[in-house]
Amino acid sequence: MSGKGEQLSQTFGCSRVDEQEREKKIRAVFKAVAPRYDLMNDMMSFGIHRLWKRRLVNMVAPQTGEVVVDLAGGTGDIAEKMAAKGRSIIVIDPSKEMMAEGERRGIKGVEFRVGTGESIPLSDQSVDRLTISFGIRNMTNMGQALREINRVLKPGGKMYCLEFSRPHWLIKPLYDLHSFYLIPRLGAWIAKAPIAYNYLVESIRRFPDQKEMKGLMEEAGFTNVSYRNLTFGIAAIHIGEK
């Protein structure tokens, strides 16, 4: 890792030495919150995350015959929206507990596979489109994950990354109040996991802003990189082409 990727590793306090320890902590977080993860997302965002995800799916617009991967896809809520006859929709996630929630709901037309973003269990140039929503900030090595995404995409294939970002300064004070005080308390009340949601809030705070993320994607080899802000920049969809 070099350049911006090295800076990112330092920002997250994640050297090569402690990546494995951080990964263990992240897995424990999602194991703890899996049963009520989707409910918590509704509570934390007042349901707005569903509009963001619908916008993402509309932008991806998967076609018949395409292979589409939802990386860090968890319970499969986005993959389910992309599923249709003639498409191959695959959720790849390291958390068996999160994927078990999706399988328990009986999602149709979606395949679930265990795997990490840093080592995607797919062949080179085998994917038409790849989505990742609120998951890339949890990678232990984001630079490696971006390179892996680039590796598995076909030439001309695209990645779509929906992630929290930097909101407009006018709403930032209210957003910070919501993030740092309300979300952990909701986590304690609903998900019974206040420590887990403290981690999630902290990971949002440390995530690169829109322009920094664009630079990281370009460094990983993507072209035609762009982003679209959602809800005054609280979240953004980052798009890159192989």
Q: pTM for the whole thing?
A: 0.81
- pLDDT value at position 216? 97
- pLDDT value at position 35? 62
- pLDDT value at position 44? 67
Q: What is the rounded distance in angstroms from the CA atom of residue 23 to the CA atom of residue 199?
A: 13
> What is the CA angle 37-42-43, rounded to 5?
95
- pLDDT value at position 172? 80
User: Position of tokens 């952990």?
Assistant: 184
Q: What is the rounded distance in angstroms from the CA atom of residue 124 to the CA atom of residue 3?
A: 25
100-to-69, 116, 200 alpha-carbon distances in Å: 17, 16, 21
Closest CA to 195 of 31, 74, 42: 31
Q: Give per-residue burial for 92-107: e unless 16+ CB within 10 Å, then b.
A: bbbbebbbebbeeeeb
Tokens of 76: 């499969």
Q: What is the pLDDT along the chain (242 residues), one digit of tens a residue?
A: 344 444 344 334 444 446 666 666 666 666 666 666 666 666 666 678 889 999 999 999 999 999 999 999 999 999 999 999 999 999 999 999 889 988 988 899 999 999 999 999 999 999 999 999 999 988 889 999 999 999 999 999 999 999 989 888 788 887 777 667 666 666 666 656 666 666 677 777 888 999 999 999 999 999 999 999 999 999 999 999 99
Domain 4-241 class in CATH = alpha beta
